[in-house]
Structure 1
Amino acid sequence: MNKKEPYHLLNLVKLLSIVSIIFFHINEFFFYKDINKAFSETVFLKWIELFSRLIPFSGQTIVFCIFFIWGLKNKKVKNIFIFSAFLLLAHLVISIPWLEGNFLTDIEWDIYPFILFSYFVVQFLNKWPTLKRYFVLISLLMLWIPTRIFSSLNFPFFLKGAFVGNCMEDFSGAWPLLPWVFLPILGFFLGREFVDKLSIGKKELLAWLFFILLGSSQYGNMFNLPFGPNFYCFILNLKPVVFWGNFVVIIFLARVSVLTNVQLFLSKYKVIQFISNLSWSRRFGLCYIIQVLSLVSLFFIRNVFYNPVYLDLVFFGILFMPELVFFSLNKILRKKN
């Protein structure tokens, strides 16, 4: 398969996940409440809330998909300095709404330094490509260990948030390295493993269906999650059986996304082609940054948007803002040429 050819199924999974993420971000930036009835009066967001509660692990899905695609393409960034500076700057920007006084303690460990650290880890491990199956196996084992085992480890305060999360001292506990660094490792090396497996046998398919059926007993167990201050401490500390009962579906979708028959089938549909041509599909990282910048900007006038109608408009505005930005940039560049 051509490395430049879009993975249609993964693009669909990413788009559905970002819909959920934007909903959670609107609540986080505008309300910061674990239980919020404001969305029940909206026309669209009340349904998006229900959908988001069904897939609250959308953040883990995005991280996995990004590294899975990088694994398929054996991707390396062209300029590691620009890549690092870009992610760290994004981390500072997303921290602006939460700054209250002490700069060093208000800026917490979060998704951007997590991705940066994870990238360095997978590139280091990728020096031994013949060990990819061992890396997959180790990652699976580590992600089956209950997070309470890691949270009991002693780290200095300034390292605690990064390595095991800090849920006990009024911090968000977002994206601790232990055990979650093994999720991008899993994604990357599954990508390396699946890249040439363009068909699937009956035995493998039956095995996948067996695990999906086995995990189905855990569907909906996260529906009543808190989606404000305690969101990350909840979703990143799920019981392994709950997480994997749901997430095995994502792994399966990643597996079948590389199949030639799946690619050919999906490419027949214009709506799928449209999704794969979206900026959210082709420039996900930059689109995510634009989404964050939009949220940070609106944070300072958030009281204006408490009206249910405005909340719906904000959601769709944030979702389509990256498309508008890149459409405008392309139009400007065409005029210059």
Structure 2
Amino acid sequence: MPNKKSHPSALHEKAGISPPEMISSDSVKNIQQFRKLQPSSAELVEGILAGNITALSRAITLVESTNVSHLAKANEVINACLPHANKSVRIGITGVPGVGKSTFIEAFGKYLTGLGKKVAVLAVDPSSTISHGSILGDKTRMEELVKDKNAYIRPSASGETLGGVARKTRETITLCEACGFDTIIIETVGVGQSETAVHSMVDFFLLLKISGAGDELQGIKRGIMEMADAIVINKADGDNIKKAQFAKVEFNRALHLFPAKKSGWTPTTSSCSAITHEGIPEVWKTIEQFLELTKGNNYLFEKRKEQNQYWMLETINEQLKLNFYNHVQIQKLLDSTKKAVQNDEISPFAAASLLLKTYFKD
């Protein structure tokens, strides 16, 4: 029989044509080389004072870095920017998750930029205690404000700091002020821990509330209510208007239970809608009245002096803690001491005393 000509299988794949290279290797090298070039402290300061947002963002990244080698450079930038700072209004905004902080800040920020203000929003995003990651979605939620040329939004992960604000946020304020932003808004995580820290770095503290969530009963409690310079009931629109008005009356009654503030200011209550923008201008008018009063009686300037002193002491505490846990002898002893405490071989207080003696001995 004649040999049959073999045919390739129907599943046989023909050799294809290699697609052309879409990315130039030279371009990749140029980009990598550009990223390796780190601007000097002087270049960053020059850019910040000129209003360059890229320089500002890079400087804030330095401040937020946990790399020890970045600390000295960050301090150089901050010290150079300090003479150009302290010229803004610092506003802290807090409220429980779901109260509409991001929506309110966008409406409020757009109103301020419409008045010719330059607004910087420092939004602290909660970090996961499991993965240690953060969504950093504040820019997404403020899609209109983020496109405004007179606004700057910087989301930051809370990390392991109390409530997500500490020295890094305080220094970021200085950089934003040096860059020309005259209104700084700090949004807290809103989990009940960060309010004290935020209060210690702002001029005006705004508490956002919503009606119909049982918050009216919380009004008679101390703590966050005592720190607030104004309470604003958000989401006062549609069928919720009457509830917001009722909540406003209840919170106003609660405020009268607290002692007078050192500033001489009487906290106010109001309602607004971040959706319809109803009541937003009144919030700014309240802040202006507060500033007029506290500047007139010199309280605002004295408060900032106290805040500077507070953050000096906080920085000392933070640095001592960092040095303690990075100490070579402490790192050697810590695990065994922890196990001894867990096994009731030594009391927690005696163990702490032993570790501290070891630390100060060296």
TM-score, scaled relative to structure 1: 0.24
User: Which gives a bigger RCO, structure 1 or 2 (Cα 8 Å, sep 6+)?
Assistant: 1
If each structure's helix is expressed as a fraction of its own residues, which one has the higher value? 1
TM-score, normalised by the number of residues in structure 2: 0.23
